[in-house]
Amino acid sequence: MHFTFEPINFDLQETYLKRLASCPVKTSDYSFINLWGWAQEYGLFWAWDENLVWIKQTKPQTVFWSPIGNWRDINWKESFLKFQQKNFQFVRVPELLLEIWRNRLDDQVFSEDDRDQWDYLYSAQDLMELKGNRFHKKKNLLNQFMKKQDYHYISFGKEMIDHVLAMQSDWCQWRDCELNDALASENRVIEKVLNAWKKFEQISGGAIVVDEKIVAYTLAENLTDDILLIHFEKGNPSYQGSYQAINQMFVSRASKEDKQTFKLVNRMQDLGDEGLRKAKLSYNPVDFNRKFKVAIST
């Protein structure tokens, strides 16, 4: 059987989300918004068979991401035989899938930890309440913002797109995105996602407005019924506490507006950036989605 890898597109969004729902573990990498948003930056393509969606990355090198489907029900030896190759290199492989491969494929599986790709998982209640000494600094910054600013919070809608794009453009100037490949790439993805806002089935977001200008915003997705995934979060550095404010306010309101109780908030990876890792750890994660690089010889 020959697989045809095609560009990731909106036509199969609903079908893909059903496949993703059948996955025992859902990490940030495999949300539809993440795949579609970063497709051009990573050269991502997908191929479909009766049980799985195969994902291939072609930039800066060719590797596979985890196939999406009900991993426990797959005959993995048969699945790999469908490809016309003997060796596979995978990245962003969740720990559970690695365990399944080890059990089904024995000595054909070789792995190494990929700490830079681990998802950070937080208690939604912790992020809403910021109780105790663990969150003392965060709570202080939030309170300072709320006392100093005449602000209001708004939920995301199409009427906000241009305003958020304007703030994102300013943010890139503050951070010199043109001199940083990673930030420039992220900026392109944010603009791409914002411009396609109405096409996504599970997207959400919020912003804080001061003096009729957006000073912080977040873009998110309901990854599952009880997991909220934060894709992007930006704050104006001129407003101390803006990041702490958008973090707390968005999570607090997301549950109310969606009329569901999110237990966990997934804030994605740190990609090995020391500053980002320190910031993510400072919010006291309760767990991680651990991921691995995996080589399979068939």
Q: Is residue 273 part of a domain?
A: no
Q: Are residues 100 and 178 in the same domain?
A: no
pLDDT at residue 129, as a whole number: 96
pLDDT tens figures, 10-66: 999 999 999 999 999 999 999 999 999 999 999 999 999 989 999 999 999 999 999
Q: Are residues 124 and 87 in the same domain?
A: no
pLDDT at residue 1, as a whole number: 54
pLDDT tens figures, 173-212: 999 999 999 999 999 999 999 999 999 999 999 999 999 9
How many domains does one find in the chain? 2
Is 70 exceeded by the pLDDT of residue 257? no
Residue 223's CATH number: 3.40.630.30
Q: Are residues 128 and 102 in the same domain?
A: no
Q: Is residue 207 part of a domain?
A: yes
Average pLDDT of 266-275?
A: 96
pLDDT at residue 133, as a whole number: 97
Q: Is residue 282 part of a domain?
A: no
Residue 96: burial class (beta carbons within 10 Å; 0-12, 13-18, 19+): middle
Q: Measured between alpha carbons, how far is 39 from 46 in angstroms, rounded to an integer?
A: 10
Q: Are residues 130 and 36 in the same domain?
A: no
* Stated pTM of the model: 0.95
Q: Are residues 77 and 126 in the same domain?
A: no
Q: Are residues 98 and 229 in the same domain?
A: no
Domain that holds residue 215: 120-268
Q: Measured between alpha carbons, how far is 64 from 83 in angstroms, rounded to an integer?
A: 12
Q: Are residues 95 and 186 in the same domain?
A: no
